[in-house]
Amino acid sequence: MRVYLDNAATTPIDKEVLAVMFSMMENQFGNPSSIHAHGREVRSVVEQARKTVAKLLNVSPSEIFFTSGGTEADNTAIRCGINDNGITHAITSKIEHHAVGHTLETLEKNGLIKLSYVNIDEKGNVDYNHLEELLQTNERSFVSLMHANNEIGTLLDIARVGDLCEKYNALFHCDTVQTMGHYVHDLSHLKVHFVACAAHKLHGPKGVGFLYVNHNVKIKPLIYGGAQERNMRGGTENVYGIAGLAKALEIAYHEMEQHANHVQELKTYMKEQLLQNFADIQFNGETDPEKSLYTVLNVSFPESDMGDMMLFNLDINGISASGGSACSSGSNIGSHVLTGIGACPNRPSVRFSFSKMTTKEEIDYTVEKLKQIVPVAV
């Protein structure tokens, strides 16, 4: 039996999404920048996809720019948002995705900004009072905080951060890669300037995403080359991926309540089974369901000599999971997120992440195999 519990890294592509993409590949091959009929046909697909995404997020199509994924969207928002608006002070946390953290660190290293870190507690919650203190400077700030942490699932109060940023005239960038398609994002009512998405986190294709840029913010391109994306991103569009992204997001919004209930039940069930079968385990991140991403469960098991082999042993038993962020898999460096919240470095930690395709039987199988792998059980 093969069990896939690494959906925070990537999700299986939805069959309806595949059907849309295959149809385009077979029948619509024109370059969307060409003015002839073949090009115009594909251009219409791209623009319809933009309208679909914009409608779901309750924004204008002119505020949606397609990218190669979340990393490019984050880099564009941060680099261009800071540079093109003359900002010299940025605020983030030490548990952001590396697409955010490393980008801001590089800007600071190059002397372009002063970088401040907002305090977080042992569950990964932002200290909003400290955030306000950091915003009380004589210079305009750029705030970059993710909606849900990709390793531990702790959620950010986007509305609260948006209100604080508005109060102090700061620009607010929110990485919503883990939550897009899992929560309703009504961006017309949120005071956020940039939002990033990657299609492969919501049963869409890899290599495509989008960046929302609020119409009140002006930035220049990160990538030059052509007039694509209304002169905001050079390069021929990933038209098949864009069509797949729009379909995946449309399905996600249509199935959201059913999906959320199913996955939350699985997460709760797995927590209960782990507590019943294992002694001295800990759950990393926020445990309140209202403050935690329902697709992610991060577990620290008791210290043991076999800790470094945990993921290997799961894999040979047919279970795919992660020891933190998949973007750092294979690295000898420990999770910066778990370090940032003060988790015990000697405890082997596993991130189990679920999707609408995960079953209760797969959870039962995983728990049974863990009972064989983990040396200390109840």
- Asked about 327 being catalytic, the answer comes back as yes
Dihedrals phi, psi of 92, to nearest 5 degrees? -150, -170
Dihedrals phi, psi of 313, to nearest 5 degrees? -65, -35
Could you tell me which of 111, 105, 66 has the C-alpha nearest to residue 88? 111
Q: Write down the catalytic residue from 80, 174, 197, 327.
A: 327
- pTM, rounded to two decimals: 0.95
**Terminus-to-terminus CA distance in the chain, angstroms?**
25
Separation CA 308–CA 13 (nearest Å): 31
Choices 3.90.1150.10, 3.30.365.10, 3.40.50.300, 3.60.15.10: CATH for 3-11+256-373 = 3.90.1150.10
Instruction: Give 36's contacts (C-beta < 8 A, 6+ positions apart).
Output: 30
The whole-number pLDDT of residue 374 equals 86
Amino acid at site 251? I
Choices 3.40.50.720, 2.102.10.10, 3.40.640.10, 3.40.50.970: CATH for 15-251 = 3.40.640.10
Neighbouring-strand partners of residue 273: none
Which residues of the chain form CATH 3.40.640.10? 15-251
Which residues of the chain form CATH 3.90.1150.10? 3-11+256-373
Instruction: Give 134's contacts (C-beta < 8 A, 6+ positions apart).
Output: 91, 116, 118, 141
Written as tens digits, the pLDDT of the chain (378 aa) is: 999 999 999 999 999 999 999 999 999 999 999 999 999 999 999 999 999 999 999 999 999 999 999 999 999 999 999 999 999 999 999 999 999 999 999 999 999 999 999 999 999 999 999 999 999 987 899 999 999 999 999 999 999 999 999 999 999 999 999 999 999 999 999 999 999 999 999 999 999 999 999 999 999 999 999 999 999 999 999 999 999 999 999 999 999 999 999 999 999 999 999 999 998 899 999 999 999 999 999 999 988 766 678 899 999 999 999 985 445 445 556 789 998 998 888 888 999 999 999 999 999 999 999 999 887 555
Could you tell me which of 369, 336, 271, 256 has the C-alpha nearest to residue 2? 369
Q: Are strands 194-198 and 209-213 parallel, antiparallel or unpaired?
A: antiparallel
3-state per-residue secondary structure call for the chain: CCEECECCCCCCCCHHHHHHHHHHHHHCCCCCCCCCHHHHHHHHHHHHHHHHHHHHHCCCHHHEEEECCHHHHHHHHHHHHHHCCCCCEEEECCCCCHHHHHHHHHHHHCCCCEEEECCECCCCCECHHHHHHHHCCCCCEEEECCCECCCCCEECCHHHHHHHHHHCCCEEEEECCCCECCECCCHHHCCCCEEEEEHHHHCCCCCCEEEEECCCCCCCCCCCCCCHHHHCCCCCCCHHHHHHHHHHHHHHHHHHHHHHHHHHHHHHHHHHHHHHHCCCCEEECCCCHHHECCCEEEEECCCCCCHHHHHHHHHHCCEECECCCHHHCCCCCCCHHHHHCCCCCCCCEEEEECCCCCCHHHHHHHHHHHHHHCCCCC
